[in-house]
Structure 1
Amino acid sequence: MNTTHERGRLGGTCWWRLLLTTALAVVLGTVIAACGSDEPTATPVPAQPTPTPVPQVQFPEREIEWIVGWPAGGGFDLAARTIGDFMGEELGVDVVVRNHTGAGGRRAVDAVRRGAPDGYTISIMNMPMQLMAEKLDPAGADFEGFEWIGQAVRQENIVTAPKTASFNTPEEVAAAEPRICMPGLAGHNFLVAAVSTEVMDIPWKVVSGFAGGADTRAAMLRGECDISWTVANPQVVASISPEDDFKGLWVYSDERLDWAPDTPTVAELGYPELGGPKLLNSGLVAAPAGTPAAIVKLIEDSFQRALNDPDVVARLREGGMEVLPMSGQATDDAVGGMDALLTEFTDVVKARQEAQ
């Protein structure tokens, strides 16, 4: 009995010891494994904040006013009405053209400068002429501060002379010292001629006072003057046709014009600084400074779609204007180029005006 009882006690004692030893071994092994592991401890990824939804722009909710600085029936007025009609149908509101005439378009510039920056006022500006007017007689317009929508239309600049003229290149013109036909000492053609003659070293010998393009061409044929800076309207285009009496000497566009394929560009003739949009007669569209970017984008998108509509393009070309769409950013860049060029030649232009 006693022997059996002692064996039972020993057997029980060994079982508990075995259990305790095993448990300690497991715990110790886990600690050792954790301390010796090279694997990095996973770092919890913080929860990402929920993006704030972008509010939808409720625009437009009423009519948009398109300000034009010239009388009804002119080229820029036609552009505003034609493009505005398309935009109005697309945006679901009226785009109303209002003519703020006077001061060579500067009243319209001032109206958009003072307009509320809410997208309900836009304007078409005659550039670079408006820039030059501001430099000659500052009125507070900051053209690089406007929110540019794009280029509506443009008219190419071309220099013409009678076919019998002995000169063709700028160097030949400079040597011949021709009399320059000029309706007046203001306006776009005057500006282009003033800057070009300075850059090309062409003497400034002006005969002015003609009553427009037709009178200027007639004066050249009568021998009263010899060369003319002008925009390429349909009448000018017709005048340099093979059967007519005039020839084109050079154009200011980046490439030769389809209707004057034999007339070189100023860049081809060695004067790239005068080429591109810097001196072209451009109708650029802008909204007041500070107009929200989302609203500017809505207007620009509709504006650009209008300029890619075949009916809109056909009507504008019938009015003697070319359509070359430019984005708002490209237009802003073009205005910067115009400003840099005109800043350099402001004193020259002023001197040309005062020389007569």
Structure 2
Amino acid sequence: MNIRLPSLFARTRRTLTLAIGALAIGAAPAWAAWPEKPIELVVGFAAGGGTDITARTLALFLGKHLGTSVVVTNKVGASGEIGLAYVAKAAPDGYVIGMTNMPGLVTLPIERKTQFKASDFSYIANLVRDPSAFSVLANSKYKTLNDLVTDAKAHPGEISYGSTGVGTDDHLAMVLFERLTGTRLNHVPYNGAGPLRTAVLGGHVVVGGMNLGEVAPFQEKVRVLAQASNGRSALAKDVPSFVEQSVGLVFNSERGIVAPAGIPADVQRRLTEALRAIAADPEFKKQMASQFTEMDYVEGTAWKARLDKATADFVNLWKTTPWSDK
């Protein structure tokens, strides 16, 4: 028998190489081709509010950047907790992400035992902020913020104030307002800015605590008494600030994107790169400006550090001025 050993070894080496290659392909991580299917973007509030509108605008841009469809779903209830819990419990594969609303993201676990905790999330980036605002019907007897303050002092606990839920930015804006002015309002929570706006327009509540972007398009029907930027917003220069009316309230709804903790690093990187590009996109900025929403892009570690600082501040506020009896 005449066997040429070099040729046999060569064939064996080629066979082993092909086998190892096949194993490597079979063992390739599932996220190597991510995304391979639509992504669900979860909003914890009803359709029609600022967080929902921001999310639906973002979904169009994010879908183009990632080459897939991004579908917004509203998981409504418990001041946004239902939506956040849904994201926290989702598989960490990047196919479920959530649009957050700060302060609720950090205040809900302070005031109650929530179905999520801070460590349940991967923090991708904050995108925008939307100043808090107090609004009344256009024909309201309250022409200025001072009119409201004067009447609230004369009738403590009688003037109804609607918010988007206990522990949300709209609710805490009221808590801080009461603390700054020595007043007390009658808090009425709703499941989002859409239902709340309907309640204000229907006269079911006197004052609506909604973000500037949620009421500015309706100024023919409502009067915005004040908005909570440091000064007048460049997007609504006719709306006075609380500060210029001698009430030092500066407060915003901050909206960002989280994913379940433990998502693959490559998926988090792709999400971050997409959001960074979108935040710099002139067309996205134009869309946000048309919604009276200010850009405030902060990503990853820096965003989480800012949230941690906010958490500490709200813990201190809770000790002196608890905003819920839960």
TM-score over 0.5 for the pair: yes
Q: What stretches of structure 1 of length at least 5 have no aligned partner?
A: 1-54
Aligned to 1:167: 146
CA contact 1:154–1:280 (8 Å) conserved in 2: yes
Determine if the alignment matches structure 1 residue 193 to structure 2 residue 177.
Answer: no
Aligned to 2:13: none
Determine if the alignment matches structure 1 residue 346 to structure 2 residue 321.
Answer: no
State the one-letter code of the partner of 1:311: E
State the one-letter code of the partner of 2:233: L
Distance 2:153 2:47 in 1: 43
RMSD over aligned Cα, in angstroms?
A: 4.1
Distance 2:197 2:60 in 1: 31
* Shift, 1:236, TM fit: 4.4
Distance 2:80 2:117 in 1: 15
Aligned to 1:260: 237
Determine if the alignment matches structure 1 residue 137 to structure 2 residue 121.
Answer: no
2:196 to 208, 212, 220: 212
Larger radius of gyration: 1
Distance 1:101 1:181 in 2: 23
Aligned to 2:273: 301
C-alpha distance after superposition, 1:201-232 (max 9, x if no partner): 52224375897346547869xxx96x664321
Aligned to 2:283: 311
Q: Secondary structure at the match of 1:156?
A: strand
CA contact 1:183–1:209 (8 Å) conserved in 2: yes
- Quick check: which one's strand share is greater? 2
TM-score normalised by L of structure 2: 0.68
State the one-letter code of the partner of 1:253: S
Aligned to 1:6: none
Q: Secondary structure at the match of 1:290?
A: coil
CA contact 1:68–1:123 (8 Å) conserved in 2: yes
* Shift, 1:270, TM fit: 8.2
CA contact 1:149–1:285 (8 Å) conserved in 2: yes
Distance 1:303 1:219, change over 3 A: same
Number of aligned residue pairs: give it: 285
Determine if the alignment matches structure 1 residue 182 to structure 2 residue 161.
Answer: yes
Determine if the alignment matches structure 1 residue 60 to structure 2 residue 18.
Answer: no
CA contact 1:69–1:101 (8 Å) conserved in 2: yes
Q: Secondary structure at the match of 1:325?
A: strand
CA contact 2:230–2:241 (8 Å) conserved in 1: no
* Shift, 1:128, TM fit: 1.1
> Sequence identity of aligned pairs in percent?
20
TM-score normalised by L of structure 1: 0.63
Aligned to 2:132: 157
C-alpha distance after superposition, 1:173-225 (max 9, x if no partner): 99777764412673542221113322x252224375897346547869xxx96
State the one-letter code of the partner of 2:240: T
Q: Secondary structure at the match of 2:86?
A: helix
CA contact 1:173–1:202 (8 Å) conserved in 2: no
CA contact 1:195–1:348 (8 Å) conserved in 2: no
Aligned to 1:41: none
